[in-house]
Amino acid sequence: MEAFDFDMVTVCVSSEALALLLTKEELRDVRAAVRLSLESAGLEPWRDLEAEFYERGGVGLLLARPRPPLRTRGMRQRRVRQAPNSLPL
């Protein structure tokens, strides 16, 4: 594993989400930044994650959360058949 020097500021961290302030250069490895923040808080690193980055003036806000398992992501809608004499759904 490659070592990174992060000057990030952890704004909020929990097992469900985290928020970090970091520079664009520190954004080169989002997974490492998230893993470091979670481990620093005594939490288990996530297997997979979803992240959003908002930048302004050279500093950015990284919002991350664990990605849900595939089986619970975007369940396809099932077509419901309607009885002939029923009210519209």
Q: Would you call 21 exposed, middle or buried from its count of C-beta atoms within 10 A (0-12, 13-18, 19+)? A: middle
Residues 6+ apart with CB under 8 A from 43: 13, 14, 15
User: Would the pTM of this model clear 0.75, i.e. be above it?
Assistant: no
Tens-place pLDDT, residues 31-74: 888 998 999 999 999 989 999 988 888 788 889 999 887 665 55
Domain boundaries, the chain: 9-68
The percentage of residues in the chain with a pLDDT greater than 90, rounded to a whole number, is 25
Q: Which of 13, 6, 54 has the alpha carbon at shortest distance from 33?
A: 6
